[in-house]
Amino acid sequence: MTPLRLTLALLVCLPISLLADALTEGQWVDLSHDFAEDTLYWPTADKFAKSTVFAGETDKGYYYSAYNLETAEHGGTHVDAPVHFARNHPTVDKIPLQQLIGPGIVIRVADQIGKQDKKDRNYLISVEDITRWEQQHGTIEKGSLVLFDTGSAQYWPDAEKYMGTAERGEAAVEKLNFPGLSPQAAIFLAEKRGVKAVGLDTPSIDYGGSRLFKTHRELFKRNIPALENVANLNALPDKGFTLIALPMKIRGGSGGPTRIVAFIPKD
């Protein structure tokens, strides 16, 4: 039984007290970067800002704190909704919950990055990378959420190492340098494997040197959302866990900040 089916079986069959115990019989892993002043954003996007409304003792004698937040949709750990690159396709609030919860796998490609030139991290994850994983673990299960570990999370939040440049503005886009998923691999996952979502530990599902964003377009016209800037993939097994990725419910949004977690059941 897959981890997701086990979880669903527990939900249906177990009393609440036993269900609570079952969900502690394993490990929860947080796959999200926190949001703060050093959170990384696309060079042309507004960065995260937090301002204090009040923090301290009130005149009534109790402590109180509240803050205002400002942020672009696409930065930090977040979901790209299909409408981001596909007109009239689902906005972030319309992505079905079941599409963001399911059996997860991790395909590791860090050993492929920069093989020819250590300074060039614009690697395109290929169909061959995927089938290599399948040779060891079996065919990807339909309805999986597929994550790619490029080894990039180790550089967070160093923009120069993570994105290729710490510069901001339109000119900085030309200097972006990081791995991404090839359009061919995106089509393969969508049409041949029937995956529900795709994610990776870089700023974009397309590689840093992309200017046409073909991978976004291929995924989103097929209504497959993307998870970007995923953290802690080295803490997960290659398969055998349940992934949950729930974005901020922004009405009509093209994406949103997301808390991504994984549950690894006890053996």
Give the tens place of pLDDT for each residue, 110-162: 999 987 677 789 999 999 999 999 999 999 999 999 999 999 999 999 999 99
Half-sphere exposure of 233 (CA within 13 A, CB side): 28
- Show me where the domains of the chain are located: 27-45+73-265
Among 69, 99, 66, 59, smallest CA distance to 82 is for 99
pLDDT above 90 for 14: no
Query: Which of 9-13, 35-39, 78-82, 260-264 has the least mean pLDDT?
Result: 9-13
pLDDT band at 25 (very low <50, low <70, confident <90, very high): confident
Cα–Cα distance measured from residue 94 to residue 63, given in angstroms and rounded to the nearest whole number: 38
Greatest distance between any 2 Cα atoms in the chain = 66
Cα–Cα distance measured from residue 168 to residue 132, given in angstroms and rounded to the nearest whole number: 37
pLDDT band at 252 (very low <50, low <70, confident <90, very high): very high
**Tokens 């994850």 map to which residue?**
125
pLDDT above 80 for 184: yes
CB atoms within 10 A of CB 226: 25
Strand partners, 104: 145, 241
pLDDT above 60 for 66: yes
CB atoms within 10 A of CB 128: 12
pLDDT at residue 233, as a whole number: 98
Query: Which of 2-6, 57-61, 75-79 has the least mean pLDDT?
Result: 2-6
Summarize the confidence of residues 45-66 as an average pLDDT.
Answer: 98
pLDDT above 80 for 4: no
To the nearest whole number, what is the mean pLDDT of the chain? Answer: 93
pLDDT at residue 114, as a whole number: 82
Question: Three-state SS for 178?
Answer: coil
CATH superfamily of 27-45+73-265: Putative cyclase (3.50.30.50)
DSSP character at residue 210: -
pLDDT at residue 24, as a whole number: 72
Kindly provide the b/e burial profile for residues 78-116, where b requires at least 16 CB atoms within 10 angstroms of the residue's own CB. Answer: bbbbbbbbbeebbbbeebeeebbbbbbbbbbbbebbbee
